[in-house]
Structure 1
Amino acid sequence: MFKYVPIEIPTSSAVKLQKDQLKLFEIAHFNQFSVEELIANRTVFYDEILKHLWHYFKLNEHDATVIAVGGYGRAEMFPLSDLDFLILTAELPSAIFEEKICCFVQFLWDCGFDVGHSVRTLSQCHEEGQKDISIATNLLESRYLCGNIVLFEKLNKLLNQTDFWTLKDFYYAKIAEKEERYQRYNNTGYNLEPDVKFSPGGLRDLHLLYWLALRHTGLKKFAQILQVGMLYPEEYQLLQKSQQFLFKVRFALHLILKRYDNRLLFDRQLKVSEMLGYTGQGNQAVENMMKDFFQTLQSISLLSHILVKYYRKHIISGDEFYIEQNLDQNFKLVNNEIKLINQNCFTEQVESILDLFYHLTVYPESEIHATTLRNLHLRLRNFEGYLSQSAVARQKFLRILAQPKAIKRALVPMHQFGVLDIYLPEWKGIKGLMQFDLFHVYTVDEHTLRVLQKLEDFLDPKYVDAHPLCTMIFPQLSDRTLIYLVALFHDIGKGRNGDHAQLGAKDMAKFAAMHGFDQREIQTMSWLVDKHLLMSITAQRRDIHDPQIVMAFAAEVQNKVRLDYLICLTVADICATNETLWNSWKRSLLATLYHYAHKQFQQGMDHLLDNQEKIKQNRNQALTLLEREYPILSEDDILQLWCSCPDEYFLRNTPKQIAWHTGLRSELDSEFLVKISNRFSLGGTEIFIYCKDQPHLFNKVVTTIGAKQFSVHNAQIITAPDGYVFDTFIITELNGDLVRFDRRRYLEQSLRATLETEKIPCLNLKKDQQLQHFRVKTEVCFLNTEKTEHSEMELFALDKAGLLAQVSRIFTELELNLLNAKITTIGEKAEDFFILTNKLGKALTEAERQELKYRIISEL
């Protein structure tokens, strides 16, 4: 092992050199020693430095001692850990002593240590520790280094006094810390860029168990805690294994970083996985490591939950029973906690495991007793086979799903405590499975549970404003059990070779048949899993105002029952993928497609929806709005303004938009009309441009929008016979918010200035460093090539600043006309849809399509 070599007259550069050599040693020997040996060696290295410098700066001449605290006190020193210590003095330090301390600490900083130090007397330690739980915890972890050992012993005696944080106060203060920390991470450790230390299930949860045991027993090792009976041997082994894995991940992470951080960001995951010896093609090494990582987090989180609960019941609050009620032959309710009557029921009647979670739904204020949880956890660790193989268990599982709050009260804790692992054979395949992209922020199993929770939210009136359509439809569904099971299976096929939706559909059909669903229900359930992305793709990447698109979508869905299920599943899936994805613009797209498809079913599938009826309806409603809001305009004035508008304009704009545009045009006093508002478009900030068409207009507009840091979601290009354009762009801030007033006015001015010049603006944006770790193959696909009036093109590419401007420049250079565009960003991937014509106003020829495809792929 690498040891510190004391230098008679130490210099900061010499100490720093040894410190750097230690890191090089750790990198070279990372897989030759256990991580515990590396941590212990680094801790001793720091100890020797501090002891040496303590004497060199003559601090030993004063009545004081230096004590390691915090992580250093636990002897858990990682390459980037802070050097936390307390200088404990018998009395307030003299000026000479203070000067020596300053030189001592400054020297450590000069050596490159991140120092966290304090200088206190015994009374100050007592006073500060009583006021601050963090200080109290640090003091409890204290470890003697050198100096007056009697002072250290007095400190320990002081910390054990009854007036210094009672067991109860200490417990509730640490639990409050834990709850605040969990909230910062959305109560899940399954974020795809997790924090090794602070994420739920991370090292802080291990520290919590250590702190509670330390305050209760004074013991500082899990092995010692095992000996006094606070841990079962199986729990101890799992804690040791989990701690070792997280220690190794954190140590490797610190070796590759220059500055302190505990986050496993995407660019770090590959390097850490290589250091830990994971191999595989593409992202396989990362995904395998992260799967182990997330399963470790779940193990720690579960054990922490069980042991903290046990500690509260048996050490903090005792076991006083007031209200007792038998639930069945195996369980009773004691003070709102479900406790075992038959201690062997999980072994003798394995299906009773599901009864436990059924009781949680029946008694919504209840929770599972600590001893019951420990018994369950031990049983599950040795469980063989799957509960779903039992007909009795299958009945009990469906009974749970039919209960109110079935997801929140039963399925979520069933996942938390590992019961889904032993019920569904396929669940283990997605447990802790990450996806190496910027779109998904959770592992597949965590995302699945969040889809289920979002579906259940649609029963809650408080979500009406956010999800008006789904909160109306979901309570009226004929069988919510069906959609819950579909949600459970919609991503179950991920992580396997092949189309995950098709694989999941097969699993769904098999599961549904096994659980007694009839053939019609099985077909619906497997179809929903197979086509769970259909509505999202159609709404966001197709022209939903095209009757043929609506007809094709309705034909695929077949009936309104499926449509109702699909809209709820689609919205829940989007919301549970990434909190930033859902916005009013997406809501409006999906609602429009839903209503068009519903109307198609009502009128029958024999002919397309009649656009003329929609156009007439929009015109009449817009006219009514204008008569009320612009009384100065006569009907003749309005019709005169409308005479140049093609039918397409009235189809693709709402009555509110048409009225707004018309009012603006009636007051037009310049060559260029550019107005931006949040009031009239469905779900985004609308830019309306009315002016004489000009070369490069679309390119100018999207370049200007991109330069001002906005996201474009939709572009609608309509050119009237008189050569004027009615162009509409739907934009948001980069985080999906509507654009605020000052930013709207600023963009208006910029767009007018751009349109008034022939010069095309330059787009100089910083390269997104996060994107450099992702590879997305550029693909160009043409859809419905039999159409003669226009061409439809899909583009898949790495999202980057200026992408839309670059593509629009290519359109311009090839003399292509853009009629419509839908811009969708899926994490690091752009999935954009364009409707184009050539310079003759027709669909692109085969040669023109090939040239466009070649230009885009070669330039992107």
Structure 2
Amino acid sequence: MQEQILAAQRRFAAERQEAEALFLKRKQPAVFFKRYARAAEQLLAALWEVYFSDRKLCLLATGGFGRGELYPYSDLDLALVSPATLDEDDQQQIAAFVQTLWDMKLIPSLKSGSVAELCGSVKDDISGDTAFLEARLLAGDAALAAALSAKISAQRDVATFTEAKILEMQQRQAKSQGSGTLLEPNIKSGSGGLRDLHTMLWIAKAQGLDTRFPSLIRHGILTSAEAGMLAESYKQLAAIRIHLHLCAKRAEDRLIFDLQGQVAESMGWQDDSRQRKSEKLMRLFYRTVKTIKQLHGILLPVLQERIDTNPYPITLRIDDDYIQVNHQIAARNPDIFLNNPEHIFKIVSIWQSRNDITSLEPKTLRAWWGASRKIKRSFYQNPANRRRFVEFFRNGNGLTHVLRFLNLYGVLGCYLPAWEKIVGLLQHDLFHIYPVDDHILTVVHNMRRLALDKHTHEHPFASSLMQGFEHKAVLYMAAFFHDIAKGRGGDHAVLGVDDARAFSDGHGLSSHEADLLAWLVEEHLLMSAVAQKEDIQNPEVIRAFCRKVKTYERLTALYLLTVADIRGTNPKLWNTWRASLLENLFHAAVYHLSSNGNTPNLLYNRRQQRAADFLTRSGAPEKQQKKLFQMLGSDYFASHQTREILWHSTNLVYDFETPRIRSRILPKSNSFQVMIFMPNGPRLFARLCRIFSRHGFDILAARAFVTAHNYILDTFIVQIPEQHDPEDYPNIQSALEAELNSFIHGYDLSEQQYHTGRISRRSRYMPIAPGVMIAQEEDFPGWYTIDIVAVNRPLLLADIAEVFFAHDVRIRYAKIATLDERIEDSFRVFSEQLADPKKQSALKQALLAQLAV
């Protein structure tokens, strides 16, 4: 027996060495996979004869080995199947078999058990189920292998599998900071890497499709051009990964700095006067992953459409050229982009302006992408295109998504030649972790978040400045242009001014906007340099800084750009120390500038100061005010409007331990504003919503807030039913206050009968498709933003809150917008369980079930 094993080992080692040598000579991944997999199969067949020839078992190749994609140091994915539970003798033989593989310096990853046991092990395990999706027989009982495959296929729910794989992919990308273009990217699991390519093929295979490219073309999943692009991308990534394994002499999937040069040289590149060999390698890698991400945007929706369980999609007219199908926008005639290139931007503009559209319909996206690749210089010269492009910034809504979409599909580079020069451009400064284009779009993203009320908690001070800043579009443009001149030689800040000026002249910016944009691009490094490298306690340093800044507006704009820039350079660089340096410099500069003229109060401080002034006039002691403001916390003033702050503080200043409710009839309306203040507890938000529904009120808006001492301070605006006369409002108000007072003191009637009602005829005949978007917050583990769009109905908000409670999701902030018969609600929640794809999917399905009622 030992002689057989040694002979098989020698034969395998020789064949493996030949496969590696042939690959290094020809650089053909397919040839390497074929030869190396065949060597492994022959080895396993020989070992099978030694250990299991007399047993009714079978051996399967699963995972990467199953699909014939075996890398030099990858795991050997195997499954050993028995008709019944393995006995002790079987277990001993399996242990000896596995140990032999380890002794040969292979890395076996073996599952073993009966058909029933293996089916049970993968029933709730998406990764295990995926591995068996690619299983093939290596040795043993073929009927047993077929039985296992049939049972696993029968228990697999294709729709659940598809959604779970897509969610798994999204979470995998989020772990790599949502980008496959980090300086040391993971070829296998990074965004646009091999695992993303495999995900598309797994979903197709789960649907019963032959995943060979010619078959996918016949089924309309791929076009011939797309199949060619996908095949070439796979070939490039596979080649890089094989070289990486061979250079590292281990199962390494990260293109770390130590290995980039070795891999590049192994692939045949050398340094030259313009680029290092590692830069050539990384440029190839970035171009390849970008292609995969482009194709994913088309192919995954195509595959999802095949399993859409909704036989009656909701179709709405947008205009003569476009319709909305559920949450996608579709062109009535896909040739419109070739025939009239103005629509390349027009469709994106419509998408940006509508919160209920999440993507382009796959066929439309295919046509749009094809036309965009044929953009000529005349496209830039067209005034309509210029107006729409600058409107992306002025609108602001979904700006980051729009720019990333246009960059992904190459439109930004076609429209602005200066942009094309920075796509995939590396920054070997041990400072930036993104290529230039990714860095810029991350800075735009950071700037946009500062402007959104729901993200105020992340950086309250900067958010308060941003939300009070008049020219927000200029800040977005400054973020977009600040590094656009990198890689040209010379000072990129100075060179970028010419690009900014040319853009301003061609896109109708006012002279003030153009000057501010150019100044920000030229001086975008100023504040960071002064704060981190100079003594900001020195009055001369502050005076010199202010001589360059000149105005409060410029100071504010520069501060915001600096915050967004540092946070977009490397998440590890942003910390409380840097934040305090910048904030201290800002305040010192404000003080200096104010000595030469009036400086506007900060929005953040202004709200608190107005509250303090109001309370002082009302006779409230200063000491009591300070205690109140400390209890409310700094986020409170950034996330509430001044009118609400004055109302709350007046009612709370003397006692912020006793629960209380207050309400007031809003002038010239049939609405109440209601404040509830009480200790935090389970299901409070849902139970309050049920009380309002029991009285027949429609919740127009709501803001949930938790104070620093863990009390809820929730504010609702509720609408009184139209059948009531204004003279009845005081009685209605009294009845509502009486029940709410009972509630906050422990007497809950919210579970008793409540007002019911039906959705309107308009909502029945002109429905909108419900939508749930769950996004993990960057740099805040366990925190998520959940956006919901649906038809309004009685008790909907309460039912949503109950779903959150049932899934152990805690609401920390809610912004409720009821727009006639449509709701657009946003919740900031905390839940550690949502990191699990299955539990996140279950929450989404439970919410959709409520929204569909």
* Per-residue deviation, residues 823-859 of structure 1 (Å, max 9, x unmatched): xxxxxxxxxxxxxxxxxxxxxxxxxxxxxxxxxxxxx
CA distance, structure 2, for counterparts of residue 575 and residue 99 of structure 1: 55
Aligned residue for 2:6? 11
The reply to whether residue 191 of structure 1 matches residue 188 of structure 2 is no
Aligned residue for 1:110? 103
1:536 alignment partner AA: S
The reply to whether residue 66 of structure 1 matches residue 59 of structure 2 is yes
Q: Give, in angstroms, the shift of residue 319 of structure 1.
A: 5.8
Aligned residue for 2:134? 141
Residue 225 (structure 2) aligned to one of 226, 234, 259: 234
Structure 1 residues 402, 26: closer, same or farther in 2, change over 3 A? same
CA contact (8 A) 1:23 1:79 kept: no
Structure 1 residues 590, 207: closer, same or farther in 2, change over 3 A? same
What secondary structure does 1:287 align onto? helix
1:565-580 equivalent positions in 2, closer than 5 A: 565-580=557-572
CA distance, structure 1, for counterparts of residue 116 and residue 591 of structure 2: 78
What secondary structure does 1:144 align onto? strand
Structure 1 residues 313, 228: closer, same or farther in 2, change over 3 A? closer
* Per-residue deviation, residues 193-234 of structure 1 (Å, max 9, x unmatched): 211111111111111111111111242423332233221112
2:382 alignment partner AA: S
Aligned residue for 2:594? 602
1:109 alignment partner AA: W
Higher Rg: 1
Q: Give, in angstroms, the shift of residue 284 of structure 1.
A: 2.6
CA contact (8 A) 1:329 1:342 kept: no
CA distance, structure 1, for counterparts of residue 447 and residue 128 of structure 2: 44
Aligned residue for 1:180? 171
CA distance, structure 2, for counterparts of residue 267 and residue 482 of structure 1: 41
1:42 alignment partner AA: Y
Residue 89 (structure 1) aligned to one of 67, 82, 95: 82
* Per-residue deviation, residues 53-95 of structure 1 (Å, max 9, x unmatched): 21233x2222222111000001001011111111222334444
The reply to whether residue 303 of structure 1 matches residue 290 of structure 2 is no
Aligned residue for 1:587? 579
CA distance, structure 1, for counterparts of residue 261 and residue 288 of structure 2: 18
CA distance, structure 1, for counterparts of residue 522 and residue 10 of structure 2: 60
Structure 1 residues 33, 585: closer, same or farther in 2, change over 3 A? closer
1:746-761 equivalent positions in 2, closer than 5 A: none
Aligned residue for 2:118? 125
Structure 2, unaligned runs of 5 or more: 598-622, 624-778, 781-853
Aligned residue for 1:265? 256
- 120-129 or 200-209: bigger deviation: 120-129
Structure 1 residues 480, 366: closer, same or farther in 2, change over 3 A? same
The reply to whether residue 167 of structure 1 matches residue 158 of structure 2 is yes
The reply to whether residue 22 of structure 1 matches residue 16 of structure 2 is yes
CA distance, structure 2, for counterparts of residue 364 and residue 274 of structure 1: 48
Q: Give, in angstroms, the shift of residue 109 of structure 1.
A: 0.9
Q: Cα RMSD (Å) of the superposition?
A: 2.7
CA contact (8 A) 2:334 2:363 kept: no
Q: Structure 2 length as normaliser, TM-score?
A: 0.66
2:58 alignment partner AA: T
Residue 445 (structure 1) aligned to one of 437, 453, 464: 437
Q: Give, in angstroms, the shift of residue 538 of structure 1.
A: 0.9
2:34 alignment partner AA: A
What secondary structure does 2:269 align onto? coil
* Per-residue deviation, residues 277-301 of structure 1 (Å, max 9, x unmatched): 2333597322232122122222212
2:353 alignment partner AA: V
Aligned residue for 2:285? 293
* Per-residue deviation, residues 328-367 of structure 1 (Å, max 9, x unmatched): 3322223232111232111112121212222223211311
CA contact (8 A) 1:191 1:442 kept: yes
Aligned residue for 1:101? 94
CA distance, structure 1, for counterparts of residue 262 and residue 441 of structure 2: 30
CA distance, structure 1, for counterparts of residue 366 and residue 409 of structure 2: 10
CA contact (8 A) 2:187 2:194 kept: yes
What secondary structure does 2:567 align onto? helix
1:453-464 equivalent positions in 2, closer than 5 A: 453-464=445-456
1:348-367 equivalent positions in 2, closer than 5 A: 348-367=339-358
CA distance, structure 2, for counterparts of residue 166 and residue 564 of structure 1: 54
CA distance, structure 2, for counterparts of residue 25 and residue 128 of structure 1: 35
Aligned-residue sequence identity (percent) comes to 30
Q: Give, in angstroms, the shift of residue 323 of structure 1.
A: 4.4
2:414 alignment partner AA: I
1:110 alignment partner AA: D
What secondary structure does 1:152 align onto? helix
Structure 1 residues 406, 167: closer, same or farther in 2, change over 3 A? closer
The reply to whether residue 564 of structure 1 matches residue 556 of structure 2 is yes
CA contact (8 A) 2:197 2:292 kept: yes
CA distance, structure 1, for counterparts of residue 278 and residue 494 of structure 2: 25
The reply to whether residue 373 of structure 1 matches residue 365 of structure 2 is yes
Q: Give, in angstroms, the shift of residue 406 of structure 1.
A: 4.2
1:541-556 equivalent positions in 2, closer than 5 A: 541-556=533-548
Structure 1, unaligned runs of 5 or more: 1-5, 606-627, 629-735, 738-860
* Per-residue deviation, residues 417-467 of structure 1 (Å, max 9, x unmatched): 433233221222221222224321222111111111111112223554553
Q: Give, in angstroms, the shift of residue 191 of structure 1.
A: 1.8
CA distance, structure 1, for counterparts of residue 196 and residue 405 of structure 2: 18
What secondary structure does 2:207 align onto? helix
* Per-residue deviation, residues 584-624 of structure 1 (Å, max 9, x unmatched): 2222222222233333333349xxxxxxxxxxxxxxxxxxx
1:144 alignment partner AA: L
What secondary structure does 2:5 align onto? coil
Aligned residue for 2:467? 475
Aligned residue for 1:217? 208
CA distance, structure 1, for counterparts of residue 311 and residue 550 of structure 2: 58
Residue 320 (structure 1) aligned to one of 312, 315, 320: 312
CA distance, structure 1, for counterparts of residue 559 and residue 17 of structure 2: 55
CA distance, structure 1, for counterparts of residue 375 and residue 445 of structure 2: 27
Structure 1 residues 380, 244: closer, same or farther in 2, change over 3 A? farther
